[in-house]
Amino acid sequence: MENILEVNDISKFYKDFSLEHITFSVPRGMICGMIGENGAGKTTTISCIMDMLKADSGNVRVFGMDYEHAAREIKSRIGLVMDGLEQNPFLYVRDMEKIMRRLYQNWDSACFSSYLERFALPLDKRVKDLSKGMSVKLNFAIALSHGAELLILDEATSGLDPVMRDEILELLQEFVTDEKHSVLISSHITSDLDKIADYILFIHEGKISFFKSREDIEENYGVLHCRRELFEALSPDDYDAYIPEMYSYKVLLNNRAAVERHFRDVLADRATIEDIMLFYVKGVVR
Amino acid sequence: MTMGLAYRDVLIFWRKNSKKSYIYNAVLFLVLALAVGKFGAATYMFLMAMAQMTTAPVMLKEADINHKGWLFSLSLPCSEREIVRGRFLAAFLIQVPYLLSMPVFSVIHHLAHRSYTPEYYVKLMLTAWICAIIITAINLTVSFAAGMDVVAVLYMVLICLLVVGYLIVTLADIDLSFLLFINEWLLIAAGFAFALLVTGICYLLAVRIYRKQKK
């Protein structure tokens, strides 16, 4: 499968934070969810992918091209929705059409109008008078109206109510159905990623802790609550991390079926993305 | 692309200005044209119109900082050079309505007071425009390098220097006729050439600063 995005060993160093050796790729037609605590390096990674920030080392290839040679073409084929990166509050919704058609060569006015209609966005309102949800929808309408093949979302759905979030998730799934488009989505709302992500990338303290397909997670990962004896009987290869509790252990299994086969009376729960994140942050990682 | 960026900046500038500020400007325009007398002309050209013509860098910097306009520009499919060029173009396009108001003001002022010859009004207008170009170019460059406070303070300082200079020449009745040994039109042409040179240098500097900041 062709990769739409390839991030190769990028690092960025600051005085009090560093992003180190980030490597991953997103195939066409896939949704890649990016998780991590606040300050883990998600936005820095996205800024490097968007060439809004120069990485100190490593490189980014999007659509098989690099920014040094094809920055304009790459950016014109990416739709970006970032939390806090709203349109200027004094502008009207109707102004967006006039501005964006001058900024994007592939701007599709009819497509933009149809999104405005679908999202019920009023043309005669200023951006500052829109609700948070409407403002996010406006950003989505813009990101989806210039022929973007890769959609990058940075906490774009935070602050939205569940109904609106669900609407956005549906939109993302629609976006990738033709298997030519992809989405890279960073979100704190791990339940959203449980629903739509094909891959999960977990960044912790500036480094990748975990990059797996959802299929792999669903099939192999599990959470086991067990006593000390059982924990000690487990092979270290069976789990990624564990959290010692007062009288028991919580274990993140990486081969649930094998453990269940080996220990007949053991039944592990399926691991959610939130479980994995908590194990990697709070637990003892093997 | 440059036009798109400039269009966005110009639109933000006009949308941000309230109706009250337009009414206030219109009233001041009429007061200076009709009620102040002889000094009204220079006061309008050099203080009011010019002050308005040079506010763009401060206001656009404010939009960049408070509403992440800087980040938005970086996400667009355009080069650093185009982003800077768009900002320079916007700042000078914003000057156009104020520039056009000057001949209108001159006609009204001339009809009301008949203090100066039409030629004198033209010279006043052009000199004010030259000052506006230079101040705008300098302030724009600084706006790429420094924060909003610095840009706002620099704007105030430049305008204050002009006000002080104007007051000294007017109140102390300083004779500037020594400048007339050179042809006045030649002096204005030289002023324009200098303003263009300053703008060119400022633009190149701004591109450099912007690229450096991105890193």
B145-187 pLDDT per residue, tens:
888 888 888 888 888 888 888 778 777 777 666 665 677 888 8
The reply to whether residue B79 touches residue A72, judged by beta carbons under 8 angstroms, is: yes
Q: Are residues A23 and A70 in the same domain?
A: yes
ipTM of the complex: 0.82
For chain B, how long is the longest CA-to-CA vector? 58
**What is the spatial distance between Cα B203 and Cα B84, in angstroms, rounded to a whole number?**
7
Q: Are residues A118 and A181 in the same domain?
A: no
Return the pLDDT at B22. Answer: 83
Domain count for chain B, please give it: 1
Cβ pair A163, A90 in contact under 8 A: no
CATH of residue A16's domain is 3.40.50.300
Provide the percentage of residues in chain B whose pLDDT is more than 90.
34
Establish if A123 belongs to a structural domain. Answer: yes
- Domain boundary among the residues A171, A186, A216 is at A216
Q: Are residues A158 and A68 in the same domain?
A: yes
**A228-247 pLDDT tens trace:** 888 888 888 899 999 998 88
Q: Are residues A72 and A108 in the same domain?
A: no
**A257-280 pLDDT tens trace:** 888 888 878 888 999 998 998 998
DSSP at B194: H
Using the predicted structure, report yes or no on whether residue A29 has a pLDDT greater than 90: yes
Q: Which residue has the tokens 């306009």?
A: B69
**B62-121 pLDDT tens trace:** 888 888 888 888 889 988 899 999 999 999 999 999 999 999 999 998 888 887 888 888
Return the pLDDT at A8. Answer: 95
Establish if A82 belongs to a structural domain. Answer: no
- DSSP labels, A113-180: HHHHHHTT--TTSBGGGS-HHHHHHHHHHHHTSS--SEEEEESTTTT--HHHHHHHHHHHHHHHTTSS
> What is the length of chain A?
286
Q: Are residues A190 and A65 in the same domain?
A: yes
Secondary structure (3-state) at A253: strand
Return the pLDDT at B93. Answer: 95
The reply to whether residue B214 touches residue A52, judged by beta carbons under 8 angstroms, is: yes
**What is the spatial distance between Cα B59 and Cα B16, in angstroms, rounded to a whole number?**
9
Q: Are residues A103 and A237 in the same domain?
A: no
**A161-212 pLDDT tens trace:** 888 888 899 999 999 998 899 999 998 888 889 889 999 999 999 999 889 9
Q: Which residue in B has a C-alpha nearest to residue A54's C-alpha?
A: B215
Q: Could you give the angle at the alpha carbon of A186 between the alpha carbons of A185 and A191, nearest 5°?
A: 90
B130: closest CA among B182, B186, B196, B176?
B196
Return the pLDDT at A124. Answer: 92
Q: Are strands A199-204 and A207-213 parallel, antiparallel or unpaired?
A: antiparallel
Cβ–Cβ pairs < 8 A, chains A and B: 70
To the nearest whole number, what is the mean pLDDT of chain A?
91
**A74-112 pLDDT tens trace:** 999 999 998 877 788 999 999 999 999 999 999 999 999
Establish if A167 belongs to a structural domain. Answer: yes
Contacts of A86 (CB under 8 A, 6+ apart): A127, A135, A139, B67, B68
Q: Which residue in A has a C-alpha nearest to residue B73's C-alpha?
A: A52
B167: distance to nearest CA of chain A, Å? 37
Establish if A204 belongs to a structural domain. Answer: yes
B38: closest CA among B123, B114, B117?
B114
Which range of residues forms the domain containing residue A99?
A: 90-145
Q: Does residue A98 sit at the B interface (CB-CB below 8 Å)?
A: yes
Give the range among A9-13, A87-91, A274-278, B45-49 with minimum mean pLDDT.
B45-49
Establish if A57 belongs to a structural domain. Answer: yes
Using the predicted structure, report yes or no on whether residue A25 has a pLDDT greater than 90: yes
B200: distance to nearest CA of chain A, Å? 25
| The A78-82 sheet, strands edge to edge | A78-82, A150-154, A182-186, A31-35, A199-204, A207-213
**What is the spatial distance between Cα A142 and Cα A86, in angstroms, rounded to a whole number?**
11
Return the pLDDT at B215. Answer: 63
Q: Are residues A234 and A279 in the same domain?
A: yes
Number of H helices, E strands in chain A: 11, 15
- B171-206 b/e with 16+ CB inside 10 Å = b? eeeeeeeeeeeeeeeeebeebeeebeebbeebbebb
**What is the spatial distance between Cα A217 and Cα A206, in angstroms, rounded to a whole number?**
22
Contacts of B16 (CB under 8 A, 6+ apart): A90, B59, B63
Q: Does residue A91 sit at the B interface (CB-CB below 8 Å)?
A: yes
Establish if A85 belongs to a structural domain. Answer: no
Return the pLDDT at B23. Answer: 87
Q: Are residues A63 and A155 in the same domain?
A: yes
Structure token pair of residue B125: 């207008």
Q: Does residue B215 sit at the A interface (CB-CB below 8 Å)?
A: yes
Using the predicted structure, report yes or no on whether residue A282 has a pLDDT greater than 70: yes
Establish if A153 belongs to a structural domain. Answer: yes
Q: Are residues A199 and A233 in the same domain?
A: no
**What is the spatial distance between Cα B43 and Cα B34, in angstroms, rounded to a whole number?**
12
**What is the spatial distance between Cα B72 and Cα A82, in angstroms, rounded to a whole number?**
10
> Which one of B74, B79, B212 would you mutate to disrupt binding with A, by most A Cβ within 10 Å of its Cβ?
B74
Cβ atoms within 10 Å, residue A53: 19
**What is the spatial distance between Cα B161 and Cα B169, in angstroms, rounded to a whole number?**
12
Alpha helix ranges (H) inside chain A: 42-49, 67-76, 93-103, 109-118, 132-143, 162-176, 190-196, 214-220, 228-233, 256-262, 273-282
A5: closest CA among A53, A56, A52, A67?
A67
**A31-40 pLDDT tens trace:** 999 999 888 8
Return the pLDDT at A262. Answer: 85
Which range of residues forms the domain containing residue B134?
A: 2-214
Return the pLDDT at B180. Answer: 57
**Integer CA distances (angstroms), A172 to A30, A178, A183, A192, in order:** 10, 12, 7, 11
Return the pLDDT at B179. Answer: 63
Mean pLDDT of A118-123: 91
Give strand pairing partners of A208: A203
**What is the spatial distance between Cα A50 and Cα B89, in angstroms, rounded to a whole number?**
26
**What is the spatial distance between Cα A150 and Cα B94, in angstroms, rounded to a whole number?**
36
Domain count for chain A, please give it: 3
**What is the spatial distance between Cα B165 and Cα B22, in angstroms, rounded to a whole number?**
27
Establish if A83 belongs to a structural domain. Answer: no
